[in-house]
Amino acid sequence: MSEIENLERIEYEIKPAGNLSLNLSELWQYKELFYFFTWRDIKVKYKQTYLGVAWVVLQPFITMIVFSVFFGRLLKVPSMGLPYPLFVFSGLMFWNIFSSGLTNSGDSMVSNANIIKKIYFPRLIIPVSALLVSVFDFVFTFILFVGLALILGFSVPFRFFAFLPLGLLLTILTTFGLGTLLSALNVKYRDFRYTIPFIIQLTLFLTPVIYPVSIIKSDWAKYFFALNPMTGAINLSRAGLTNTSVDIIPLLISVGSALIIAVLGILIFKKTEAYFADLA
């Protein structure tokens, strides 16, 4: 039998990827788009602004000052032995990734509707690129954090730099899952555009940004707060700063919650993906 006849007998089956598949090989083929969309969003974000990228550090810095005055000086909120400005900024670093990443990702599919309707590419690139903009901002925020520690005369332990990537990874995973979920739901139900700011505001008070978890005395309440994965991310950061031990059970709850959110986000996104061009 000739090679041509053998080739004619080869059968190809074309089918969509599974609901939980990220289709990493296809994402790698379109890897340039991550840079294109991320850099485009960064330029659009700071275009025609006098201060430009300086807003990345001004916003958390001003927020830190406000929190320090009201919660640190007036209400005397405990800060785990840290200077309160440094304490609150250690939480704001991760919170800003979550809040801005969730806002950008949640609205990303609708704002890119024209591109979605014209050409094909893995749609998951859009919300992930929106999240990468927030990670880009984090770099400048972290530099400000180090500068703030030097100004306050606080020596950052080496352990903090070991815990930092873990907290950052947990934050990115959480924002990715919830961002993809909301981006898909926002395409079909535009009401979510108005609920995203409310979710962010509500979650701020359910996250230990301005207060330590140690003020919560009830174990079940600690476990309830740990359902918010951002609690685990910020606790990791502060455990590294204060050289204190990490409460394993709440951390595992936060990690498990982040994984569930990520899986749910992928499921909803993949289920809605086929209709994006019609609904966007």
pLDDT digits (tens, 9 = 90+) for 48-95: 666 667 777 888 899 999 999 999 888 889 999 899 999 999 999 999
136 CB-near residues (< 8 Å, 6+ apart): 38, 42
What is the reported pLDDT for 17?
A: 54
pTM (whole model) above 0.85: yes
Instruction: Give a yes or no: residue 5 inside a domain.
Output: no
> In which band, very low, low, confident or very high, does the pLDDT at 12 lie, cut at 50, 70 and 90?
very low
H-type alpha helices, the chain: 3-8, 24-29, 31-46, 54-67, 84-106, 108-111, 113-118, 125-151, 158-188, 192-205, 219-226, 229-242, 248-273, 276-279
The domain tally of the chain equals: 1
With respect to residue 92, please indicate whether it lies within any of the assigned structural domains.
yes
The per-residue pLDDT for 20 is: 55
15 falls within a domain? no
The residue among 266, 243, 74 whose CA lies nearest residue 184 is 266
What domain range includes position 251?
A: 20-279
Write down the mean pLDDT value for the chain.
85
pLDDT tens-digit series, residues 143-179 = 999 999 999 999 999 999 999 999 999 999 999 999 9
Q: In whole angstroms, what is the distance from residue 83 CA to residue 179 CA? A: 33
The pLDDT of residue 86 is 94
Q: Does some domain include residue 186?
A: yes
Nearest in space to 17 (alpha carbons), one of 188, 262, 269, 185: 269
Question: Is position 7 within any domain?
Answer: no
Q: Tell me whether residue 12 is in a domain.
A: no
Q: CB-based burial of residue 139 (10 Å sphere; 0-12 exposed, 13-18 middle, 19+ buried)? A: exposed
Decide if pLDDT at 96 tops 60.
yes
Distance from C-alpha of 239 to C-alpha of 244, rounded to nearest angstrom: 5
Does residue 2 sit within a domain?
no
C-alpha distances out from residue 239 to 90, 160, 247, Å? 11, 8, 9
Contact indicator for 133, 34 with CB cutoff of 8 Å: no
In a domain, residue 14? The reply is no
Distances (CA, A) of 90 to 61, 84, 212: 11, 10, 11
Give the C-alpha separation, 22 to 123, whole Å.
Answer: 11
Residue listed under structure tokens 């700063």 = 241
